[in-house]
Amino acid sequence: MPSEISPGLVIQGFTPPLRLSDFRLVAFDMDSTLINIECVDEIADAVGKKEEVAAITEAAMRGEITDYKESLRRRVALLEGVTVADMEQVYTQRLQLNPGAEALVQACKAAGLKVLLVSGGFTFFTDRIRDRLGIDYTRSNMLEVRSGPNCGELTGRMVDQEWGDICDGAEKRKMFLETCARLGISPGQAIAMGDGANDLPMMGEAGLSVAYHAKPKVREQAMVQINAGGLDRLLEVLR
Whose CA is closest to 55, among 46, 47, 64, 158? 64
Question: One-letter amino acid identity for 174?
Answer: K
pLDDT, residue 34, reads 98
Catalytic residue (choose from 22, 29, 195, 232) = 29
Q: What is the pLDDT of residues 16-45, one digit of tens each?
A: 889 999 999 999 999 999 999 999 999 999
Q: What is the pLDDT of residues 173-232, one digit of tens each?
A: 999 999 999 999 999 999 999 999 999 999 999 999 999 999 999 999 999 999 999 999
Residue 239 has pLDDT above 90, yes or no: no
Residue 149 has pLDDT above 80, yes or no: no
Q: What is the pLDDT of residues 66-90, one digit of tens each?
A: 899 999 999 999 999 999 999 999 9
Do 190 and 136 contact (CB within 8 A), yes or no?
no
- The model's confidence at residue 148, banded by pLDDT at 50, 70 and 90, is confident
Handedness of CA 136, 137, 143, 145 (dihedral sign): positive
Q: What is the pLDDT of residues 101-123, one digit of tens each?
A: 999 999 999 999 999 999 999 99
Do 138 and 176 contact (CB within 8 A), yes or no?
no
Percent with pLDDT over 90 in the chain: 93
Do 172 and 189 contact (CB within 8 A), yes or no?
no
Average pLDDT of the chain is: 96
- The dihedral over CA atoms of 133, 135, 139, 141, expressed in degrees to the nearest 10, equals 20
Catalytic residue (choose from 22, 31, 127, 199) = 31
Which CATH number is 3-236 given? 3.40.50.1000
Q: Clarify whether 86 is annotated catalytic.
A: no
- The model's confidence at residue 12, banded by pLDDT at 50, 70 and 90, is very high
pLDDT, residue 147, reads 84
Q: Clarify whether 41 is annotated catalytic.
A: no
Q: Report the C-alpha gap between 195 and 4 in whole angstroms.
A: 18
Alpha carbon distances (Å) from 171 to 14, 166, 219, 231 = 28, 8, 21, 24
Whose CA is closest to 20, among 195, 191, 149? 191
Q: What is the pLDDT of residues 129-145, one digit of tens each?
A: 999 999 999 999 999 99
Residue 47 has pLDDT above 80, yes or no: yes
Do 19 and 238 contact (CB within 8 A), yes or no?
yes
Do 137 and 114 contact (CB within 8 A), yes or no?
yes
SS3 string of the chain?
Answer: CCEEEECCEEECCCCCCECHHHCCEEEECCECCCECCCHHHHHHHHHCCHHHHHHHHHHHHHCCCCCHHHHHHHHHHCCCCCEHHHHHHHHHHCCCECCCHHHHHHHHHHCCCEEEEEEEEEHHHHHHHHHHHCCCEEEEEEEEECCCCCCCEEEEEEECECCECCCCHHHHHHHHHHHHHHHCCCHHHEEEEECCHHHHHHHCCCCEEEEECCCHHHHHHCCEEECCCCHHHHHHCEC
